[in-house]
Structure 1
């Protein structure tokens, strides 16, 4: 699955038996942000809440058991531990996302949760060193990290047994996730071809892959996805299936998922992930029947809500719709608008200087632009860099051509929002009439792009 995609994930909740729900309050404030809303992900729903003029929001939810709720504004996500009846508050400065402060109920635990999450993130950031170890060295390293993490988890029991239990589960699944990723990442780093049949995944035999309640842990959800992918990759017709369009491929994959998992919630989740991948990065306008069938069969309301919401939003940029307008300054400070290119095809590259795949496409894009010089097509490159100086430096030093723009607000810019950019590089092709031809156009390095451009130029 595409690495840059960030899906909404359902928050962790301890199963403590059936209890009477209690009103629970979560409030927060965002300063220096560009978004005017937040998304709150609770055990049973995904809610979008507007911020007031001071960047404040208040959200009430009924909780029967302790839970971890996620709050997302733009690219900043905050996770908070709440117990039934709690009243928790946090503040975020968008210019210093690491400086989140907590107050109210369980503020100490929430600060601890943030610190521990950063610790796990830092472990994974060292993935090259970790996965370059041989199998024996990797096993010893994992055991050492696990021991240290579980010692810290045990120390939390005195403060909250429920919180300590949730953190222990999270650590366990995080370590299992690393083990599940080792064979493929190790092969990649050593330049070898990954073969799932020859890798040792025997540890999966000791993991319950049908625990619907534990999908509440992001780490377990990721483990389930990896397990599903491995099983599907081992299918005899996998290569043939991979080459088929989504309309044919997804029903076959959904059938495999039904045979792999017995828990309905697990099935719903894994199918949702495959479907969301296609909605976000594929020819989503051809998935109406697939989406309707999923929504009809899905028994997990929050997954249905997510798919329906994302699909309806995505249809706003389906082929044939008017392309969202934008106006940004180019590298020389000149104001440039999409309307300036009426009567020409517009091939847009959403990219950033730090993005490896984006940089890899630059030579192909330069060649494409050179070969189509003088034709009714313009190549527009929109940077989503947070660091504008890094963009200026690279464009200038590399002498990058085309129309070079920087989107004010980067990922929170109007262009990124209106074109629903979830991963980069993303290419968009707009017709001479200002309408979208393909919101997920082929990359410059692909074989399909020249055929598509030639076909559309012939219509002008």
Structure 2
């Protein structure tokens, strides 16, 4: 979610091209950048552009910085384009249009605050830098950390004041001679959807941040701004990343306000259908695709597959489907409903155990090793959790990624550790560690009674919330199956 004028940390996640507009309508061309770095700290400078809104990969063009701090690069753009100027670990916003020839200067130690532009295209990029300095860099204009503490009236006053100041600066600077219609549309959208996004997400964000209070009850008119249809379907805002983010948050809002929660199996299907039915124009497939990407990571694998098949009709030019299909293939192995990899391992007493032997039971898997202080600290909590669920239809399976078998056996048998304990020979290089993509320990998985993934990042053993999470997980596999399209749950 976006909570400020510019999405925090959005630097390297370069903002959108005119990705959803028909290719034939884009004026393609070249942008050149010549510049000098004072106090060189890196050997290269780059411009990053994301060609497709559903593809996290950027197209990055690099140029060497010589001993005098000079560089020159040329970038191909498909029409007006939001991009990033990257130097070392610092980033500055760019707005590029075919034919621009920019002269750029900045200090190597502080790109964002010192960047200056001359030449063709200098005005819009200077404006972006000044907007960043006036609003993004000033805490008083940010939702976090202080302004989120306001109650509804105070928060709305903050949003209204920030938008008024942004518009005042915009109207006092922008003219039609030096700023294209594309840039004016982009900046108008950034201001409008900064406001809309922060207002829409305020209630949820405040509940997360202000832990000492419950969820605020909003006045009946708080969400009335969403009745403005031009806010929802706004082709002129297509270049704004905040507009895309707002639409995603909007379909989340529609789903939750109609009684659906993120924890429900059908949540992403509901969001997908709402995006499909409520949106129009080039934004429609983008937001549908964004919901699909969420479903790939947090939804049921068979629901995701069914939605992906349906998506093809919404993408007749095949702009997004190949990317989504690739994304699905990457994530489906660990999606909810995907079968967890089976294994055969030995217990400390020499008995053979397989995952299949626990079919019909909820399985909480704890990957650990005896040399991990964090994993050892969880052992007392694990014992308490096992005691709490004694006699319930759940198995606590502890898989040690230890190469030192005697030390593991001594700890398990000597301390009489509860639960099922097995060891994977080869430790972090073992087949099971690779099958479950274990990077470090402790790592946890919660499996449904049918042996499928229910949660690939459940609450850790030492978390109080683990108890409620486990209680809510019994029978969840059949709940998911009941929400699948006909024939998909088999």
- TM above 0.5, yes or no, is yes
How far apart in 1 are the matches of 2:163 and 2:30? Answer: 34
Deviation of the 1:142 alpha carbon: 3.0
In structure 1, the partner of 2:188 is 168
How far apart in 2 are the matches of 1:362 and 1:199? Answer: 52
Matches within 5 A, 1:305-344: 306-314=323-331
Q: 2:314 aligns with which of 278, 297, 306?
A: 297
Alignment of 1:266 with 2:289, yes or no, is no
Retained in 2: the 8 A contact 1:12–1:217?
A: no
**Matched residue of 1:23: which SS?**
strand
Instruction: Mark the CA change 1:364 to 1:375 in structure 2 (over 3 Å): closer, same or farther.
Output: closer
In structure 1, the partner of 2:485 is none
Deviation of the 1:100 alpha carbon: 7.0
Matches within 5 A, 1:401-416: none
Deviation of the 1:2 alpha carbon: 11
Matches within 5 A, 1:40-439: 40-42=49-51, 48-49=58-59, 54=64, 60-64=75-79, 66-70=80-84, 78-88=92-102, 98=112, 101=115, 105-107=120-122, 109-117=124-132, 119-120=135-136, 122=139, 125-158=142-175, 160-162=178-180, 163-186=183-206, 189=210, 191-194=213-216, 198=220, 200-208=222-230, 209-236=232-259, 238-239=260-261, 242-245=262-265, 248-261=266-279, 263-281=280-298, 287-299=304-316, 302-304=319-321, 306-314=323-331, 346=367, 367-368=381-382, 376-378=399-401
Deviation of the 1:34 alpha carbon: 12
**Matched residue of 1:161: which SS?**
coil
How far apart in 2 are the matches of 1:69 and 1:289? Answer: 34
Q: 1:440 aligns with which of 456, 460, 482?
A: 456
How far apart in 1 are the matches of 2:382 and 2:223? Answer: 44
**Matched residue of 1:68: which SS?**
strand
Unaligned regions of 5+ residues in structure 2, if any? 66-70, 342-364, 387-395, 403-436, 446-452, 474-490
Deviation of the 1:182 alpha carbon: 3.4
Instruction: Mark the CA change 1:229 to 1:70 in structure 2 (over 3 Å): closer, same or farther.
Output: same
**Matched residue of 1:155: which SS?**
helix
Task: Kindly tell me the number of residue pairs found equivalent between the two proteins.
Answer: 365
Retained in 1: the 8 A contact 2:207–2:214?
A: yes
Deviations 1:384-428 (A, max 9, x none): xxxxxxxxxxxxxxxxxxxxxxxxxxxxxxxxxxx799xxx9957
How far apart in 2 are the matches of 1:310 and 1:58? Answer: 32
In structure 1, the partner of 2:417 is none
Deviation of the 1:161 alpha carbon: 3.3
**Matched residue of 2:282: which SS?**
helix
**Matched residue of 2:82: which SS?**
strand
Instruction: Mark the CA change 1:93 to 1:41 in structure 2 (over 3 Å): closer, same or farther.
Output: farther
How far apart in 2 are the matches of 1:233 and 1:311? Answer: 25
How far apart in 2 are the matches of 1:285 and 1:99? Answer: 48
Deviation of the 1:201 alpha carbon: 0.9
How far apart in 1 are the matches of 2:88 and 2:309? Answer: 29
Q: TM-score, normalised by structure 2?
A: 0.55
Instruction: Mark the CA change 1:307 to 1:51 in structure 2 (over 3 Å): closer, same or farther.
Output: same
Deviation of the 1:82 alpha carbon: 1.6
Instruction: Compare CA radii of gyration and give the structure with the larger one.
Output: 2
Greater displacement, 148-157 / 186-195? 186-195
How far apart in 2 are the matches of 1:287 and 1:296? Answer: 15
How far apart in 2 are the matches of 1:152 and 1:258? Answer: 37
Greater relative contact order structure (CA < 8 Å, 6+ sep):
1
Instruction: Mark the CA change 1:215 to 1:347 in structure 2 (over 3 Å): closer, same or farther.
Output: farther
Q: TM-score, normalised by structure 1?
A: 0.58
**Matched residue of 1:141: which SS?**
helix
In structure 1, the partner of 2:351 is none
In structure 2, the partner of 1:10 is 16
Alignment of 1:25 with 2:41, yes or no, is no
Deviation of the 1:277 alpha carbon: 1.9
How far apart in 1 are the matches of 2:186 and 2:112? Answer: 23
Retained in 1: the 8 A contact 2:93–2:129?
A: yes
Retained in 1: the 8 A contact 2:83–2:95?
A: yes
Retained in 1: the 8 A contact 2:83–2:93?
A: yes
Greater displacement, 88-97 / 212-221? 88-97
How far apart in 2 are the matches of 1:426 and 1:87? Answer: 53
Deviation of the 1:24 alpha carbon: 2.0
